[in-house]
Amino acid sequence: MLMTAFGGLMWLIFTAILVLAVVAFVLAAIAREDAYRAADKQNKMFWLIILGVTVAVNLLAPYLFLQLAGLVATIVFFVDVRPALRQVSGGGRRGGSSSDGPYGPYNGGR
């Protein structure tokens, strides 16, 4: 009974890792090439290859070490690369104007 619960938990973890890798791959694919250069990150093809290999490893090779290495690459993409791409491409800003500062709108000293 305990082994089937452990097996189910491992299947859930591996599925979550696969879903994260697929989402990261799709997000890397839809970002513009020039945004990678402007954000001073590796180029788009580099991230597509790394994340594509991660998805392939998660689908085809049940080696925990390779899956964990792919998980690290996926986490780096989500934590470092994607926020930089969003900042460079103007994403992440919802409403407001370009003169908004960290404490509200800048009114020009009035």
Give tens-digit pLDDT for 40-86: 888 999 999 999 999 999 999 878 888 999 999 999 999 999 999 99
Which tokens belong to 89? 């491409």
Alpha-carbon gap, residue 70 to 56, rounded angstroms? 10
Q: How much is the pTM?
A: 0.75
With a CB cutoff of 8 Å and minimum separation 6, the contacts of 44 are 28, 31, 33, 36
Q: Give the E-state strand segments of the chain in sequence order.
A: 100-101, 104-105
104 against 29, higher pLDDT:
29
Q: Over 70: is that where the pLDDT of 8 sits? A: yes
Comparing C-alpha atoms, which of 48, 13, 30 is closest to residue 56?
Answer: 48
